[in-house]
Amino acid sequence: MSHKKDLTVGIVGLGAVGKTLVKRLDDGIFGLKLSAVSVRDVKKTAGILQGLKGDIKILTLEELAEAVDVVVECAPAELLPEIAEPVLRAGKTLIVLSVGALLDRMDLIDLAREHGGQIIVPTGALLGLDAVTAAAEGSIHSVRMITRKPVRGLVGAPFLVANKINIDDITSPIQIFSGTAREAAKGFPANLNVVVALALAGIGPDQTQLEIWADPALTRNTHVIEVDSDAASFSMSIQNIPTENPKTGRITAQSVLAALRKLRSPIRVGT
């Protein structure tokens, strides 16, 4: 791609993250131009786009893949293959938020390789992925993550439903899950994309261990990560302020914006 022109960006899904991205991109980011969106509810989206400075088109997924340079996926996890395949076949860049869905479709990486596309997994609601990816260049002995979330951010998760675990009326913190990142991605598809990103950066989804706690006293999603490797041992903690969607932190959209800026910024900080 020529660096003499702006990269055109398309967004799939206008939930809490997508709406934030639309507004910030429309306000202007160096080297980037919001060009189009793809959504299910066209009528509702037309209202959201009213008042924006740019001429933002509403396109189908196939049209979007051909029309823009970079597609940002902000949709339900089950739609990832439908979104990703045309983008990667067109040799474009795809920024994925539903990273948990990648574990069942690792063939998408092969598709990107075959056609010259790229899948970018932003840091999202985590921190320190630069350190984990650096450690992975050597030997990582263990990665463990402990997640604590407000009750309303976990209610309805498939793991809780399948195991008949009711957390609606708990009065003290309880551990509701202990297992691998792969198991967590299936049991908590709307909650734990973060641990899959951690796993892909480090030692994989079957070696990365996770505990999940429901805590009625919390108002923020919290994650603690502990890594032991031949280069360094480190621990990190983050508390994320939720958006209007209790399953998603505000920093998620900001992480995508940071990833987009790096595509065109004249200086890039971080691995």
Q: Which amino acid is at 17?
A: V
Q: Report CA-CA distances (Å) from 228 to 45, 101, 184, 202, 225.
A: 46, 27, 21, 11, 10
Q: Are 9 and 260 in contact (CB under 8 A)?
A: yes
Hunting for tokens 């509810």 — which residue is that? 41
With CA atoms as reference, report the closest residue to 97 among 245, 255, 266.
255
Q: Tokens 């010259």 map to which residue?
A: 116
Among 3, 115, 141, 223, which one carries the catalytic annotation? Answer: 223
State yes or no: is 115 an active-site residue. Answer: no
Give the up-direction half-sphere exposure of residue 83: CA atoms within 13 A in the CB hemisphere. 29
Catalytic residues: 223
